[in-house]
């Protein structure tokens, strides 16, 4: 929605307004300051303050000296001093309040301050508008080049100078980045002067803007200008759940709004005993589990029964602590508690007919039996399938003895006659296959000659 003082007759933003009408006037809410001295006249003989505040893209503000004594008001587009060339911005504050802002940001108004050249002409606005139109496609190409060079950095925004002679690349990175080759590739690709500027993650969120979890625009992009450190202790003092997903903002850091009410909570906690307070009784020792600052209540539980909580008022807790300091133990905390909460045992039932939640898990593979492991059949001698190998019965009646390897190779009868083949019924293989010839067995001719 365009602001009232810079919108055109059809309700849209003029050609020079680059923020959809939010050009920094008193009707805009983009990091503006209410000029409550605008309707007041200066005392006789006092000259107006010669410095003004000028805002550029995404809320960046600088102070400039009006050396030409131009009649400037909030919302005027001016050409300011830059290095090199000139820049184009919008006046956001004039008068004595500029001196207050300069003092707040530690800028010496009596020192050297860049100056304003002139009010921007239509030609200046056209060049400025054309340069701003190049920023989005250039940002996409710049990110592709950075990825190709495998640099651990994120290019968040690009800002062109008002005259289009220089482009400032804003990036974030966790570690130091060597972007010397990157600047060469950017200068070759875009044919302009390149300046790299590293910003923090909070500054990046402030420049880009967005909607917070509260449903409103981010504080850092609307009115918050100083970023104070936020610790997890701020969440602990306010009894908040230490969930990083809920406590972190769009910048990835802890939300700045955690500090807004912290002072009020700290003042309220001054009347409470410490969270580490222990209450000693004859029934046992009790420790604090929870605090309700608004109702002035504290929850205690015995160390041997954490499922049962006793609610006590702050005055009662202080009374028990005073007795404990005198080395006196109370009978039981139940005598002082206004309420006792017992956590019931939760019995989960199968309401939807599902067997187990682990039914989607991969079934465990059954272990294969180890071949080396002895089985019931392994107790039998090797070759138990062959009848002649199970129990070799000799003519002398000796049974139950397994045939040894030499006996298997050369079958010698008790009469000492060798070379005779084993009968078919006795030498038949288990698979009824023809027995392989034994090379160690002597031939019949040799045996006959020996005889």
Helix axes 135-148, 180-190, angle to 10 degrees: 140
Note the pLDDT of residue 49: 86
pLDDT tens for 55-109 read 998 778 899 999 988 989 889 999 999 988 899 999 999 988 898 889 888 898 8
> In the predicted model, is pLDDT for residue 355 greater than 80?
no
Rg (C-alpha) for the chain, rounded Å, is 46
Torsion sign (Cα): 108, 114, 119, 123: negative
pLDDT value, residue 438: 56
For the cut 50, the answer to whether the pLDDT of residue 359 exceeds it is: no
Sign of CA dihedral 103, 109, 114, 117: positive
The pLDDT tens digits of the residues spanning 66-79 come to 998 898 988 999 99
Q: Global pTM?
A: 0.59
Dihedral through CA 248, CA 252, CA 254, CA 255, nearest 10? -70
Mean pLDDT, the chain, rounded, equals 76
Q: How confident is the model at residue 343 (pLDDT cuts 50, 70, 90)?
A: low
Neighbours of 196 (CB within 10 A): 16
Q: Is 375's pLDDT higher than 60?
A: no
**What's the full length of the chain, in residues?**
451
- For the ranges 16-30, 118-132, 221-235, 395-409, the lowest mean pLDDT is seen at 16-30
State the pLDDT at residue 48: 80
Instruction: Check residue 129 and give its pLDDT.
Output: 94
Does 16 have pLDDT greater than 70?
A: no
Task: Give the least confident one: 314-323, 332-341, 441-450.
Answer: 441-450
- What is residue 348's predicted lDDT score, i.e. its pLDDT? 52
pLDDT for position 395: 46
- Is the per-residue pLDDT at 17 higher than 80? no
Higher local confidence (pLDDT), 197 or 428: 197
Asked if residue 4 has pLDDT above 60, the reply is no
Q: What is the pLDDT of residue 450?
A: 43
* pLDDT, greater one: 114 or 412: 114
Q: What is the pLDDT of residues 406-438, one digit of tens each?
A: 444 444 444 444 444 444 444 444 545 555 555
pLDDT tens sequence across 298-332 = 999 998 888 889 999 999 999 999 999 998 898 88
Q: What confidence score (pLDDT) does residue 209 get?
A: 87
Domains along the chain with CATH numbers: 1-37+46-123 (no CATH), 134-205 (3.30.300.20), 228-268 (no CATH), 273-342 (no CATH)
- Greatest mean pLDDT among 141-150, 237-246, 406-415, 425-434 lies in 141-150
Q: Is the pLDDT of residue 381 over 90?
A: no
Report the distance separating Cα 38 and Cα 73, nearest Å.
10
């Amino acid at each position: 929605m365009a602001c009232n003082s810079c919108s055109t007759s059809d309700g849209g933003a003029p050609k020079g307004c680059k923020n959809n009408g939010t050009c920094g006037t008193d009707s805009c809410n983009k990091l503006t300051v209410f000029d409550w001295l605008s309707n007041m006249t200066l005392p006789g003989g006092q000259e107006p303050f010669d410095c003004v505040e000028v805002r550029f893209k995404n809320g960046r503000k600088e102070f400039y000296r009006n050396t030409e004594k131009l009649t400037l008001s909030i919302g005027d587009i001016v050409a300011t001093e830059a290095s090199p060339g000139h820049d184009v911005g919008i006046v956001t504050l004039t008068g004595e309040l500029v001196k207050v802002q300069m003092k707040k940001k530690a800028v010496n108004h009596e020192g050297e301050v860049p100056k304003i050249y002139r009010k921007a002409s239509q030609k200046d606005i056209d060049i400025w508008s054309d340069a701003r139109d190049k920023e989005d496609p250039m940002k996409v190409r710049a990110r592709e080049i950075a990825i190709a060079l495998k640099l651990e950095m994120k290019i968040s925004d690009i800002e062109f100078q008002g005259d289009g002679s220089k482009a400032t690349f804003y990036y974030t990175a966790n570690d130091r980045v060597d972007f010397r080759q990157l600047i060469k590739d950017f200068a070759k690709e875009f044919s302009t002067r390149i300046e790299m500027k590293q910003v923090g993650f909070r500054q990046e969120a402030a420049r880009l803007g967005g909607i917070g979890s509260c449903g409103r625009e981010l504080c850092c992009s609307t009115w918050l200008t100083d970023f104070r450190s936020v610790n997890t202790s701020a969440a602990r003092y306010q009894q908040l759940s230490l969930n990083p997903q809920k406590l972190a903002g769009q910048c990835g850091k802890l939300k700045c709004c955690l500090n807004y009410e912290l002072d009020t909570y700290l003042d309220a906690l001054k009347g409470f005993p410490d969270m580490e307070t222990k209450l000693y009784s004859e029934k046992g020792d009790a420790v604090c589990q929870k605090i309700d600052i608004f109702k002035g209540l504290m929850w205690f539980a015995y160390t041997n029964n954490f499922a049962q909580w006793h609610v006590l008022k702050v005055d009662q807790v202080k009374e028990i602590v005073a007795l404990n300091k005198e080395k006196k133990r109370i009978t039981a905390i139940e005598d002082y508690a206004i309420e006792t909460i017992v956590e019931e045992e939760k019995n989960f039932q199968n309401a939807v007919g599902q067997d187990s939640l682990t039914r989607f898990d991969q079934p465990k593979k059954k272990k294969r039996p180890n071949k080396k492991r002895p089985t019931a059949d392994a107790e039998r001698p090797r070759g138990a399938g062959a009848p002649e190998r199970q129990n070799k019965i000799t003519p002398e009646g000796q049974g139950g003895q397994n045939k040894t390897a030499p006996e298997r190779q050369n079958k010698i009868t008790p009469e000492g006659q060798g070379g005779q083949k084993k009968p078919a019924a006795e030498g038949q293989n288990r698979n009824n296959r023809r027995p392989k010839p034994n090379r160690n067995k002597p031939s019949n001719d040799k045996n006959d000659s020996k005889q």
